[in-house]
Structure 1
Amino acid sequence: MKNNLSKMMSLDIYLSSLSNEEYDSVSSKLDYNFKSLPLLSWDIYSQNRQVNLLESQQEQDILKVKALASTFNWNNDIDSIFSDSDYEALIVTDVTQNILWVNNGFPKMTGYSKGDALNKTPRFLQGEKTTEKKRDIIRKKLSSNLPFQEVIINHKKDGTPYTCEVKIIPLFTNNIKTHYIALEKQVV
């Protein structure tokens, strides 16, 4: 038991430091009949998996927006749009604010399916708690042709109000505004 290499802590580190000849001489003393133990740190595993899943979803969102950019010949730098932006939902509209595409985060945030949103304007998310003053501010900023950020109270499908931070960026083809992209997240 005293010289049982299988019981040695950090055996993998020790073995990786050996030359081929040294390893050959030691390997006959190793017992490779290890028991498979259940993962003891599911919390760490699941937390990392959640982060990886979110990053993967965001990568898919960016690829889809880049495909739309290619289709519509947008002049905007798509990577710069996402470089420092945190979002839950993405909405792409035409210049008349008709929704053409939403990401998978949209149904999670609003309760509306993707199909519910298509061919509507984002105004369908507004309700009794959305102020006319805030609507006017957003209308004026949309006409400025500049990116902007605002906070508005929208309403989920079940009528529950939520505070939404929205970053809206006009998209251009040959210096003509043709679309908008909105990066949205629920805030407290």
Structure 2
Amino acid sequence: MKNNLSNMMALDIYLSSLSKEDFETVSSKIDYDSSKRLPLMSWDIYSDSLMLKRKKAQREHDILKVRSLAKKLNWQNDINAIFNEQQFEAILITDIDQKIIWVNQGFTAMTGYSKVDALNKTPHFLQGPETSNDSKERIRAKLNAITPFTEVIINYRKDKTPYKCEVKIFPIGNDEATHFIALERQVS
């Protein structure tokens, strides 16, 4: 036990001496046995690893829910292609009239609004005084053109604080668009 503790302390000292890039590379390769006691820095690496696994699982769960909706609503789009290599925190699905029919938990985490708060509203309810009219016009034009696009817009959380939001919108449906998927994330 004493030797094991010395090894873990040496690991902590080694890890604390690394640059951020080297630390991320090395820490991702450390295999953790959660039944063993770990020093503080080792615990930080373990918890970071666990958080990344949770985020990945949540992402997979969200995509699975969207696939389920796609099947139910007979969408012909390649859902995997929509999500492929996309970064997002929130997912909103609206009908063709832009009424929200589904949001993921990431939407609540990012905006403070629950699913109940958002359902049957348009994403316009997230806008406020600093939201650019030019951004709103570009979004409206691209939605009317039924074309995929990316836009950055100032939105507002439930507590009224503004944030910059990157929105990637994809029209979905069968022979013609019946819904939109919006993948959103906060940007600086």
Tell me the TM-score normalized by structure 2.
0.79
Is 2:186 the counterpart of 1:181? no
- List, as ranges, runs of 4+ consecutive aligned residues in structure 1 with deviation greater than 3 Å: none
Instruction: Tell me if 1:84 matches 2:85.
Output: yes
The RMSD of aligned alpha carbons is 1.4
- Inter-partner Cα distance in structure 2 for 1:119 and 1:183: 18
Query: Which residue is 2:170 aligned to?
Result: 169
Unaligned 5+ segments in structure 1 are 1-6, 9-35
SS of residue paired to 1:136: helix
- The alpha-carbon deviation at position 85 of structure 1 amounts to 0.4
Counterpart for residue 137 of structure 1: 138
| Whole-angstrom CA distance in 2 between matches of 1:54 and 1:152 | 25
Q: Which residue number corresponds to residue 99 of structure 2?
A: 98
The offset of 1:143, in angstroms, is 1.3
| Aligned ranges 1:35-184 → 2 under 5 Å | 38-40=37-39, 41-173=42-174, 175-184=175-184
Query: Deviation at 1:144?
Result: 1.4
Alignment of 1:14-53 (within 5 A): 38-40=37-39, 41-53=42-54
Higher helix proportion (structure 1 or 2):
2
How many residues align? The count is 154
User: Which whole-Å CA distance do the structure 1 matches of 2:169 and 2:36 have between them?
Assistant: 50
* DSSP 3-state at the match of 2:171: strand
TM-score (norm 1): 0.79
How far apart are residue 133 of structure 1 and its match? Answer: 1.5
C-alpha distance after superposition, 1:28-52 (max 9, x if no partner): xxxxxxxx85222101100100100
Shift of 1:145: 1.5
- DSSP-derived class of the 2:159 partner: coil
Q: Secondary structure at the match of 2:170?
A: strand
